Amino acid sequence: MRFLKTSRDRLDLNEAMRFIGAKWTGEPHIVFDPDLKPQYRIRRASSHDGTMLFSMELMQKALTPLFERSSYYKPIGEPPQGMRPRYTIGRINRFSVYGRVKLPVGVYPGERECVVIPVRCAYVPIGA
């Protein structure tokens, strides 16, 4: 197997990011409120050896349903036709417990980590 070395000019990436940012004209669908009273919470947990990569991956797993607009409050059901969710999130909590954890290869020193995101969901018309 061969790995190809590639590089990108930072100025090219900067231009691409500026172009992407210039096209954004809509309202954000995720808003932060530090005093939020949540409808529900998104929880994700994992056990790992303490590598920061696994912590970032866990945070990504917790945030992905919000980015993809696939999370909703079960009692009010899925969004009706012509509506989309708008989320208000509270403070993101991350908890870690260090010690011996059960990993796929056995029991080793590591970390049990949990991410909790408080969420309130409202449906708004598409385009609003």
Please indicate, yes or no, if residue 16 is contained in any of the structural domains. Answer: no
Give the pLDDT confidence of 25-73 residue by residue, as tens digits: 567 788 999 899 999 999 999 988 888 888 889 999 999 999 888 888 8
Please indicate, yes or no, if residue 79 is contained in any of the structural domains. Answer: yes
Containing structural domain, residue 48: 27-125
DSSP the chain: --PPP----HHHHHHHHHHHHHH--S--SEEE-TT---SEEEEEEEEESS-HHHHHHHHHHHHHHHHTT----GGG-SPPTTEEEEEEE---EEEEEEEEEEETTEEEEEEEEEEEEEEEEEEEETT-
Give the pLDDT confidence of 13-37 residue by residue, as tens digits: 445 445 444 455 567 788 999 899 9
Please indicate, yes or no, if residue 7 is contained in any of the structural domains. Answer: no
Number of domains comprising the chain: 1
